């Protein structure tokens, strides 16, 4: 067993003791995605990168992508689009000027992309424009009040790519600038109201520990996560999942 495998084996043992009910945020996102994508015929995945779900969920990703009549992936990063294997219709584009007519889709999803939005109100209005009445927006993004974002902001730029590689095994070309301008509950609700969305669901959730590769620290992190799972720790939870609906004024 390599070092990475040994660290994860240790982590899973400790997690079962300290925070046995902890669930990976991507798994929570997948559950909600499976629910909201049911009976949606035209789906846009915004900031699609090179996958819908984590790599070990490829079979489920393909099942989800095969279900609608039309699925389109949009991203500004061309190399990421070239790697995508499950979305057949891929478009290089900017979220602030979506290249689609009004009311083109009944589902828009965005998995870990909203933290990169430079002008979130403008980009949210574009999503509203291309959604059909009754259409749904589902997004998953970090919470700006979380310890992970606070540590990221305190890390010198020159070190960030090395730290991300150590902790997440992500290559430098898969790391993009972040702004966190739509990443608190208050900001999200305010933007949704101004644009015209109805907030169907807004959840602050925790996710798996980030310091798996540093075993002594990951124990302390798990105790912190256990506190975040309580009501007093809600504000500082690590991730946000939102479900917005575009009102259907004919109903």
Distance CA 201, CA 203 (A): 6
Check if the beta carbon of residue 7 is closer than 8 Å to that of residue 212: yes
**How would residue 153 be classed by pLDDT, with cut points 50, 70 and 90?**
confident
pLDDT of 177? 75
Token code pair at residue 205? 């959730």
pLDDT of 178? 86
Which residue's structure tokens are 């609906």?
A: 245
Across 70-90, average pLDDT: 94
CA angle 3, 148, 126 (to 5 degrees): 120
Percent of the chain with pLDDT over 70: 90
pTM beyond 0.85 = yes
Across 148-160, average pLDDT: 72
Token code pair at residue 87? 């979305």
pLDDT of 90 higher than 80? yes
Check if the beta carbon of residue 247 is closer than 8 Å to that of residue 33: no
**How would residue 151 be classed by pLDDT, with cut points 50, 70 and 90?**
confident
Backbone phi, psi, residue 112, to 5°? 60, 55
pLDDT of 168 higher than 60? no
Query: 25-29, 130-134, 169-173, 216-220 — which is least confidently predicted?
Result: 169-173
Across 99-103, average pLDDT: 97
Our measurement of the distance from residue 228's CA atom to the centroid of its chain's CA atoms, rounded to an integer in Å, reads 19
pLDDT of 155? 65
Backbone phi, psi, residue 30, to 5°? -60, -40
Kindly report, residue by residue over 21-55, the tens digit of the pLDDT: 999 999 999 999 999 999 899 999 999 998 999 99
Across 197-202, average pLDDT: 98
Across 224-231, average pLDDT: 98
Mean pLDDT of the chain: 91
pLDDT of 154 higher than 80? no
CATH class of 3-145+178-245: alpha beta
Output the CA–CA distances (angstroms, integers) from residue 188 to 56, 110, 141, in the order listed.
Answer: 30, 14, 11
pLDDT of 194 higher than 80? yes
- In terms of Cβ atoms closer than 10 Å to its own Cβ (0-12, 13-18, 19+), residue 229 is middle
How many C-beta atoms lie closer than 10 Å to residue 124's C-beta?
25
Kindly report, residue by residue over 169-193, the tens digit of the pLDDT: 555 545 557 889 999 999 999 999 9
């Amino acid at each position: 067993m390599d070092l990475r495998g040994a660290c994860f084996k240790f982590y899973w043992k400790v997690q079962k003791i300290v925070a046995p009910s902890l669930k990976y945020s991507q798994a929570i996102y997948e559950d909600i995605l499976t629910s909201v994508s049911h009976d949606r015929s035209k789906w846009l995945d915004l900031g699609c990168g090179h996958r819908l779900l984590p790599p070990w969920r490829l079979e489920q990703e393909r099942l989800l992508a095969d279900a609608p009549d039309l699925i389109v992936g949009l991203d500004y990063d061309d190399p990421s689009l070239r790697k995508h294997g499950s979305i057949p219709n891929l478009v290089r584009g900017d979220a602030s000027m979506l290249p689609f007519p009004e009311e083109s889709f009944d589902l828009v999803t965005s998995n870990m992309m909203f933290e990169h939005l430079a002008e979130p109100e403008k980009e949210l209005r574009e999503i509203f424009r291309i959604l059909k009445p009754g259409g749904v927006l589902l997004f998953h993004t970090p919470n700006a009040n979380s310890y992970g974002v606070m540590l990221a902001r305190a890390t010198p730029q020159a070190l960030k790519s090395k730290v991300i590689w150590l902790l997440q095994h992500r290559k430098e070309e898969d790391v993009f600038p972040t702004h966190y301008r739509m990443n608190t509950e208050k900001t999200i609700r305010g933007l949704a109201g101004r644009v015209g969305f109805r907030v169907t669901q807004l959840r602050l959730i925790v996710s798996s520990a980030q310091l798996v590769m540093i075993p002594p620290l990951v124990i302390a992190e798990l105790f912190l996560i256990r506190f975040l799972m309580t009501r007093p720790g809600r504000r500082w939870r690590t991730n946000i999942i939102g479900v917005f609906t575009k009102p259907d004024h004919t109903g």
